[in-house]
Structure 1
Amino acid sequence: MEYLEFKIKCSEDFREILIAELAAIGFDSFLETEDGIDAYSPEESFDRESFQQIIDEYQEAGQISVLEGKMPKVNWNEEWEKNYDPIEVDDLVYVRASFHESKPGFAHEIVINPKMSFGTGHHATTFQMLKLQGQIDHAGKRVLDVGSGTGILAIMAHLLGAKSVEAFDIDDWCVENGNENFDLNGMHTRMGLGTIRDVKLQGLFDIVLANINKNVLLDEMEIYSSLLIPQGYLLLSGFYTEDVVDLEERAKEFGLTLLKSSAKDNWAALILQKA
């Protein structure tokens, strides 16, 4: 199988957006670069019309340019090993791939072998979510990770002492990768496939984690609230600092109060609590 390779230069704020959009149309591997991202799609399933629509939509705002090429099937493990660096979130957690050595001095360690660049800890949204998780008592709690990606936030919840963790994603590639990462970190949880409206969630949760994007968060806010116990916590990220007001106003409609916000590289994260 041959792959089409797209070297995409873009502003930093648009890397995660493009990865998400391209994954939705069949791209199956990504590498972040100094200038943007390298994106790869199997040639036989490449949807050029949808690809061009995505590029056109974000081209001006994201200062996007594209260089297209073709390459044979890639040893992605080798590529990740070249490009994936460990992440340090204060002294809370050290996030590494299996080919990195452990490092002392951290309360926790997460091993992630990402098949795509979702949720590796490198992006400001994931970094902030991990940091905020460290400020919430997870011990003995029931936790839900919405749009789990690599499963990194679910794994963090497990390490922080959660009694049970449920997770799901709309992408079967993420589900496969997430389950592999759960195994690497000693979790017996299996990631579900589907949207929050598709998966069959039972009962209430003490903590709900959702690192997705503004539009999805606004649309699903009522569901998040309905899944929380009174005084339960909702941690959100995946949106810009200028979007915080919109998220906070939406959350208020469903009895959720903003307790704390953080910002990194113009990306925001929130801790909300249900009345």
Structure 2
Amino acid sequence: MKYFEFTFTTLPCTDTMNDILAAFLGEVGFESFVECEGGLTAYIQQALYDESTLKSAIAEFPLSDTKITYTYTEAEDKDWNEEWEKNFFQPIVIGDRCVIHSTFHQDIPPAEYDIVINPQMAFGTGHHETTSLIISELLESDLKGKSLLDMGCGTSILTILARMRGAQPCTAIDIDEWCVRNSIENIELNHVDDIAVSQGDASSLNGLGPFDVVIANINRNILLNDMKQYVACMQLGSELLMSGFYVDDIPVIRAEAEKNGLKFVSQKEKNRWAAVKFIYPVG
């Protein structure tokens, strides 16, 4: 998976400024943000980057008397397992029930669900708030015997956990060929079965399903555009879990969901990121 690494310089450079900028960038496809001297470093998949969309977002920035400039380069390809090890990342423990770690980790804390992920990439490791929010939701859900779809599966952390909790059969789909290969590797590492992995976008859902549970942890714009296709492969009582957007985006996500016949159930929040749960259809 190829990424661009952007360096945004903000004047004035404040926490509030950078938080709002990250929110705006998240809406146009950026996935990861790191504060740096003078501003923000952000990453976006090369396939999702559109210069005119970025310039429009910056032009619509709501704070007056601010200046935002940026430069970007192609993000260096790295062995992200080596980066994890070199930087001494610790296993991720979520809800005292799920631990996510790589093969090099030692002294893994015991947990009900032990997931091994060799990411070989910057994202999809479980560190991001949106991933942990969906994991928390899955840990609370009754998944036994339920068919499940994970759109934008990445490393397939979510599918693997769902399968461990009894979801069956499971389908994992991602637009990126690398994610498909890495998902297959991670599924094998965790010795789970009945997970079909394929490459595609929402158009590939035609003829699939119905699914009892649909997960989509992507970004706001893709969710808004593709939600109708998720609903088309759901049935009476099916649940839709979505994340990849900020708390401020919940109203527009909810409006689109309700337009497609979904009923709002609940929401979770973590560091301004959000996850929402809907059920189909409205009773």
Q: Same fold (TM over 0.5)?
A: yes
What is the deviation of 1:22?
7.5
Alignment match, 2:132: 127
Between the aligned partners of 2:84 and 2:69, the Cα distance in structure 1 is 24
Are 2:238 and 1:232 aligned? yes
| Identical aligned residues as a percent | 32
Letter in 1 for 2:214: V
CA distance in 2, matches of 1:162, 1:113: 22
SS in 2 for 1:88: strand
| 2:141 counterpart (136, 153, 156) | 136
CA distance in 2, matches of 1:51, 1:216: 14
**The one of 78, 81, 84 aligned to 1:80:** 84
Alignment correspondent of 2:175: 170
Q: Which amino acid aligns with 1:159?
A: M
Matched, 1:180 2:179: no
Hey, what does 1:27 align to over in structure 2? none
Q: For residue 8 of structure 1, what is the amino acid of its counterpart? A: T
Provide TM-score, normalisation by structure 1: 0.78
Are 1:270 and 2:269 counterparts?
no
Please give the secondary structure, in 2, of the residue aligned with 1:148. coil
Cα RMSD of the aligned pairs, angstroms, is: 3.5
What's 1:100 paired with?
Answer: 105
Q: Could you state the TM-score of these two structures normalised by the residue count of structure 2?
A: 0.76
Q: Which amino acid aligns with 2:268?
A: S
**Corresponding position of 2:14:** none
Q: Check if 1:159 corresponds to 2:164.
A: yes
Q: Which amino acid in the other structure matches residue 14 of structure 1?
A: A
- What's the CA shift for 1:192? 0.5
Shift of 1:58: 6.1
One-letter amino acid matched to 1:234? L
Distance 2:259 2:132 in 1: 28
Contact 1:22 1:51 (8 Å CA) reproduced? no
Q: Please point out which of 139, 148, 154 is paired with 1:149.
A: 154
Cα deviation, residue 166, structure 1: 0.2
Q: CA deviation at 1:197?
A: 0.6
Could you tell me which runs of 5 or more consecutive residues in structure 1 were left unpaired when the two chains were aligned. 24-30
Q: Secondary structure at the match of 1:134?
A: helix
How far is the alpha carbon of 1:204 from its aligned partner?
0.7
Q: Indicate how the Cα distance of structure 1 residues 193 and 17 shifts in structure 2: closer, same or farther if over 3 A, else same.
A: farther
Aligned to 2:13: none
Return the letter of the residue paired with 2:217: N
* Distance in 1 (alpha carbons) for counterparts of 2:72 and 2:256: 40
Aligned residues: 258
Structure 2 vs 1, CA of residues 75 and 253 (structure 1 numbering), >3 Å: closer, same or farther?
A: closer
Show CA shifts across 1:236-260 (max 9, x none): 0011111111111111122211111
Assess, with a 3 A threshold, how the Cα gap between structure 1 residues 15 and 115 changes in structure 2: closer, same or farther: farther
State the Cα distance separating 1:80 from its structure 2 match: 2.9
Gaps of at least 5 residues in structure 2 are: 10-17, 62-66
